[in-house]
Chains A and B, each alone.
Chain A
Amino acid sequence: MKLRIGGLTKAFGDLTVLENIDLAVAGGEFVSLVGPSGCGKTTLLRIVAGLEASDRGEIQIDGRRVTRPGIDRGFVFQADALLPWRTVLGNALIGLEVNGARGAEARSRTQALLRLVGLAGFEAYYPRQLSGGMRQRVNLARALAVDPEVLLMDEPFSALDAQTREIMQTELTRIWSSGSKTVLFITHQIDEAVYLSDRVVVLSRRPGRISEIVPVTLARPRALSIKRSAEFTACVERIWRLIEDDVRRSVLDEFA
């Protein structure tokens, strides 16, 4: 197993956010996490990234225990969080730079990555000169540049409009299938999770527990048109049923 999450528990004060999460992800697998808001998805991902400490339990990558951030994992943030004073290339290079790699080889490899995410010719642009979709591509390239084994993505496409999001989903699938990255992907959108993933992990409402893991058996490569197939909608329907009540309750909570 590439990534193993064992007995993970986390509380903020009196509020237990995650309770006894166990999950094993195989190398090269694409796994999504879905659940109502407030179920601790983001906290889980942050703990895996080493940005947050857990109260109990552990994270292992290739059997090694990890507690701090490192370049074996790449984090793609929800807000693009690009450094405004750095160009596209400069932003994509930051992870390598922080780890002491700043030679010509790092540069040319990062440039190749920018081409892979469709940003050739934009290397010298500043983030504010780019559209939301392009900024999110830089964000992805930045995480990929350190060549992480595990890619952690926190609702990376949630700020994009529906069309751009669909394009980014196909792009991500293309990039993922061209490498051998293990991906842990958080989303609010069940169809996005089903379209992208090998397995979808459904988390329950506070405290977050794994209520079910749904395998997605759709054949790859998946065209966008697959989203209209009966098999696809059945899978989305199944997951929706699992979280429907929880979502309803958390929406009511927010208005209460």
Chain B
Amino acid sequence: MLWELVGRFVVKNALFLATPSQTALALAKLWNEGALQHHSWVSAQEFLLGFVLAVVLGIPIGLVTASWRRPAAMLNPWIAGLYATPVIALAPLFILWFGIGIWSKVAVVASLVLFPVIINTDAGVRNADRQLIEAVRSFGATKLQLFTKVSLPAALPFILAGLRLGVGRGLIGVVVGELFGARAGLGFMITQAAEVFNMPQLFAGVVVLAAAGIVLTAAFQALERHLVPWNFE
């Protein structure tokens, strides 16, 4: 409501703000043209591939750094350094390496999602309560059993929280990656709209991204409820 009112009566110039009704119209138009579906699908692929890649690499790396001292000593400075690096600054480099197609964006997404996943997995395994480990050890459990039956389940809520953090960073990665060079995708659509001051279309792109963020976060919360019921019931 506020947005619509501000858009209609305060910032009347359509160059600066599009109202919800204009945004909705733009969404409908883009949908009818098929452009919305096309751009969303490209971005979705980039996001999913990058995200899955980061998870497939990140969880094992985090498990290793939490379990063994030597790999941890080797990898941790790198992880800390790269986590703090604005990977976004490397996006043009990725475009140069992997081309203008989806793989450069996949790389940007993966590099942004990877570090929170590693860090959370590592923290989760380390967080396992020593008393719980002792309790299971008192039955003569092996190191592997202690890992699978105590450390890993104890880490699960942390790992899932890492994935949820990754969602936001991954969406940023998609848009920023496309900004630096792409032929399609929501970020590309937004950039195009901005260049010709087509505010309704720009807002349409933003709305779709925000909706994706909400849906994905909700999906991960549902997954958490399913996988870690002991924290909820």
Which residues of A come within 8 Å of B, CB atoms?
A: 49-51, 68-71, 73-75, 77, 79, 81-86, 94-95, 97-99, 126-129, 142, 146
A123 to chain B, nearest CB (A): 14
One of B134, B137, B230 near A126 (C-beta < 8 A): B230
Partner of B141, one of A74, A98, A129: A98
- 17 more contacts with CB within 8 A, not counting A51-B137, A127-B230, are A49-B138, A51-B134, A51-B138, A69-B137, A69-B140, A74-B138, A77-B131, A77-B135, A79-B131, A81-B129, A81-B131, A81-B134, A83-B149, A83-B150, A86-B230, A99-B139, A146-B139
How many residues on the B side are at the interface (Cβ–Cβ under 8 A)?
Answer: 22
Residues of B near A126 (CB, < 8 A) are 229-230, 233
Smallest CB-CB A-B distances: 4 pairs? A95-B139, A81-B135, A75-B138, A98-B141
Write out, one digit per residue, whether chain B residues 162-206 have a CB within 8 A of any chain A CB (1) or not (0).
000000000000000000000000000000000000000000000
Interface residues of A, dominant DSSP:
loop
Complex: A75 Cα to B138 Cα, angstroms:
7
Bound Cα distance from A73 to B140, whole angstroms: 10
Q: A94-B149, A98-B149, A129-B233 are in contact. Are A83 and B132 (CB under 8 A)?
A: yes
Q: Once bound together, how far apart are the Cα atoms of A74 and B137, in whole Å?
A: 11
Question: Which B residues are CB-close (under 8 A) to A79?
Answer: 131
B:131-156 near A, CB below 8 Å: 131-132, 134-141, 145, 149-150, 153-154, 156
User: What B residues does A77 contact at CB under 8 A?
Assistant: 131, 134-135
CB contacts (< 8 Å) of A84 on chain B: these are: 230-231
**Can you list, as one digit per residue, whether each of B193-233 has a CB less than 8 Å from chain A (1) or not (0)?**
00000000000000000000000000000000000111101
Indicate with 1 or 0, residue by residue over B113-145, a CB within 8 angstroms of chain A CB atoms. 000000000000000010110111111110001
Q: Which residue of B lies closest to A142 (CB)?
A: B135
Instruction: Kindly report which residue of chain A lies nearest to residue B157, judged by CB atoms.
Output: A85
**A83 and B153 contacting across the interface, CB-CB below 8 Å:** yes
B136: which of A73, A94, A128 is its contact (CB, 8 Å)? A94
CA distance A49 to B137 in the complex (A): 10
Which B residues touch A71, using CB under 8 A? 139-140
Chain B residues closer than 8 Å to A75, beta-carbon distance: 135, 138
CB-CB under 8 A from B137, the residues of chain A are 51, 69
In the complex, which of the residues B135, B140, B228 has the most CB atoms of chain A within 10 Å of its own CB atom? Answer: B135
Q: What separation, in Å, do the CA atoms of A49 and B139 have in the docked complex? A: 9
Which residues of chain A have C-beta atoms less than 8 A from B233's C-beta? 126, 129
A81-B131, A81-B132, A126-B230 are known contacts. Are A94 and B153 too (CB-CB below 8 A)?
A: no
User: For A129, what are the chain B residues with a Cβ–Cβ distance below 8 Å?
Assistant: 233
- With a 10 A CB-CB cut-off, give which of B139, B154, B229 has the most chain A CB atoms: B139
| Docked complex Cα distance between A20 and B115 (Å) | 52
Docked Cα-Cα span, A132 to B136, in Å, equals: 20
26 A–B contacts from the bound complex (CB under 8 Å)? A49-B138, A51-B137, A51-B138, A69-B139, A70-B140, A71-B140, A73-B138, A77-B131, A77-B134, A81-B129, A81-B131, A81-B134, A81-B135, A83-B132, A83-B135, A83-B149, A83-B150, A83-B153, A84-B230, A84-B231, A85-B153, A85-B156, A94-B139, A98-B139, A126-B233, A142-B135
